[in-house]
């Protein structure tokens, strides 16, 4: 068969494609060539830190390389994320991010120092829904009851609590308020424990708490759950209806997730290798059991880079606008 210009061009393009991927493949084959650092952008002992330290030794076993967890708290996680995006994009520096960090922080801090485009998602490690909780003696049993009370409230409205201004608990509450079209007054607290205490004393009438903060109080009968912010029920809360089930859709089904991210230019082959390792580890029975004890669950399927990115894009489509509408500026 005669060699035509078209054949030459096709061969050249194919060769170029192979050569362009060669550096990435070579790096992936050599990876990891030194210890891996996982940045936790919050203090030691918190839920993000605990989940990271649960993952690290298993990832070390799988990759045959030391995995070091480094806490770098400050500025609502911004300092740790800034460290990540300044690091070499070779897969040896990762960060354990969580819901809202990449979507809320750049919208509420003028000097956050990063955007979601500066990172690439790897895999999610833990999922747990936000729980809409009320005092144990509250007459409200459903989201409908809360909405009716909000609409009936007069000037000043009903006080609700969040774990801090500008956080997921605050912004998701405002999404709920948009559906309720009632009168609520925001009362920010410094974390889940102070909010739980305020709810138990009826200082505020409702609030959103993460599963880790809420579970013991709900199981002990000190707080009452009237909904979970999830499209479908979590295995952690099989008997609690979601807000979506109760007819309140559109931006109110955010899991609290912890997930590994890397600098944006990390080679795709390295990202895929890390994804495969993490997705495997989090399905292991021992890992799932220990994670459940901490108030989280892991994905047993569909834990892909693409699925993680879809979650991030959905947050980016909803949460920055909510922050802007509230006029939130935290620096």
Nearest by Cα to 282 from 304, 298, 259: 298
Task: Work out the average pLDDT over 135-149.
Answer: 93
Q: Are 239 and 227 in contact (CB under 8 A)?
A: no
Quick one: 136 and 225 in the same domain? yes
Tens of pLDDT along 79-103? 999 999 999 999 999 999 999 999 9
237 located within any domain = no
Assigned token pair, 293: 């004890």
Tens of pLDDT along 14-62? 555 555 554 555 656 789 999 999 999 999 988 899 999 999 999 999 9
Q: Are 323 and 104 in contact (CB under 8 A)?
A: yes
Q: Are 303 and 282 in contact (CB under 8 A)?
A: yes
pTM of the shown model: 0.86
Q: Are 256 and 46 in contact (CB under 8 A)?
A: no
Quick one: 144 and 285 in the same domain? no
Q: How far apart are CA 319 and CA 328, in angstroms?
A: 12
Q: How many CA atoms lie within 13 A of 177 on its CB side?
A: 24
Find the CATH number of the domain harbouring 189.
Answer: 3.40.190.10
Per DSSP, the residues of 84-116 read HHHS-SSSSEEEEEETTTTTTHHHH-TT----G
176 located within any domain = yes
Quick one: 123 and 266 in the same domain? yes
Tens of pLDDT along 243-270? 989 988 766 677 889 999 999 999 999 9
């Amino acid at each position: 068969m005669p060699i035509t210009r078209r054949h030459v061009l096709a061969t050249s393009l194919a060769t170029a494609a192979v050569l362009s991927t060669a550096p990435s493949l070579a790096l992936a084959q050599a990876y990891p060539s030194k210890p891996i650092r996982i940045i936790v952008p919050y203090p030691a002992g918190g839920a993000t830190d605990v989940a990271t330290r649960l993952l690290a030794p298993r990832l070390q076993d799988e990759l045959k390389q030391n995995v070091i967890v480094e806490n770098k708290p400050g500025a609502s996680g911004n300092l740790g994320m800034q460290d990540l995006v300044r690091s070499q994009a070779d897969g040896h520096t990762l960060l354990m991010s969580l819901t809202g960090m990449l979507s809320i922080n750049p919208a509420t801090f003028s000097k956050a120092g990063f955007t979601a485009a500066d990172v690439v998602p790897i895999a999610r490690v833990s999922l747990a829904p936000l729980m809409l909780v009320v005092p144990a003696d509250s007459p409200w049993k459903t989201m409908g009851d809360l909405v009716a009370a909000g609409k009936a409230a007069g000037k000043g409205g009903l006080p609700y609590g969040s774990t801090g201004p500008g956080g997921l608990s605050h912004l998701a509450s405002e999404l709920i308020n948009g559906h309720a079209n009632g009168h609520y007054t925001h009362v920010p607290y410094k974390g889940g424990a102070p909010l739980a205490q305020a709810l138990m004393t009826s200082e505020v009438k409702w609030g959103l708490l993460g599963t880790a903060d809420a579970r013991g109080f709900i199981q002990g009968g000190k707080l009452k759950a009237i909904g979970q912010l999830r499209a479908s029920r979590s295995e952690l809360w099989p008997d609690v209806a979601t807000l979506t089930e109760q007819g309140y859709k559109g931006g109110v089904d955010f899991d609290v997730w912890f997930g590994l991210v890397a600098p944006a230019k990390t080679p795709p082959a390295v990202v895929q290798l890390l994804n495969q390792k993490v997705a495997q580890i989090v399905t292991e029975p021992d890992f799932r059991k220990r994670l459940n004890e901490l108030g989280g669950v892991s994905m047993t399927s569909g834990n892909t880079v693409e699925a993680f990115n879809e979650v991030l894009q959905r947050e980016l489509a909803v949460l920055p606008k909510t922050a802007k509408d509230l006029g939130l500026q935290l620096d």
